[in-house]
Amino acid sequence: MTGALAFLAAPLGAEAQQAGRVYRIGFLTAGIEAAGPLLAAFRQGLSELGYIDGQNLIIEWRFAEGRYDRSPTLARDLIALNVEVIVAHITARSRLRRPRLRKSRSS
């Protein structure tokens, strides 16, 4: 989790002092919403960096609920929301099962 927070701090840190700026982060996991300790640690780490969910931060949560085939659709949903960054919590098991996102080719 620390690596994800460091990753988030870099792109957001340069603008962290902008008054009134609200950042939007996408969080994608193959798990379920009830994964409380993971989500609480994520929020706590962001809070320690000055990002408070509901104040200067909106977190768009997406849970595949163990249905790995849903991950590409959920990722596309987050991309369509134009989030600043997508944090993906992927386990070794889910990496083995995930279908690949394919880029559409422009004609």
Q: Does residue 107 fall inside a structural domain?
A: no
Selection from 70, 64, 48 nearest residue 1 by Cα: 48
Which H or E element spans position 58? strand 57-63
Q: What's the total number of domains in the chain?
A: 1
102 located within any domain: no
pLDDT of residue 81: 95
Spatial CB neighbours of 5, under 8 Å, sequence gap ≥ 6: 42, 45, 46, 49
Asked whether residue 30 is assigned to any structural domain, the reply reads yes
Does residue 11 sit within a domain? no
pTM over cut 0.85: no
Q: Residue 74's domain spans which residues?
A: 22-97
Q: Does a structural domain hold residue 73?
A: yes
- The one-digit pLDDT tens for each residue of the chain (107 residues) are 545 544 555 555 545 546 689 999 999 988 877 667 888 888 899 999 999 999 999 999 999 888 888 889 999 999 999 999 999 887 655 444 445 555 554 54
Identity of the residue numbered 5? L
- CA 66 to chain CA centroid, Å, is 17
Please report whether residue 50 resides in a domain. Answer: yes
Residue 60 lies in a domain: yes
Q: Is residue 16 domain-resident? A: no
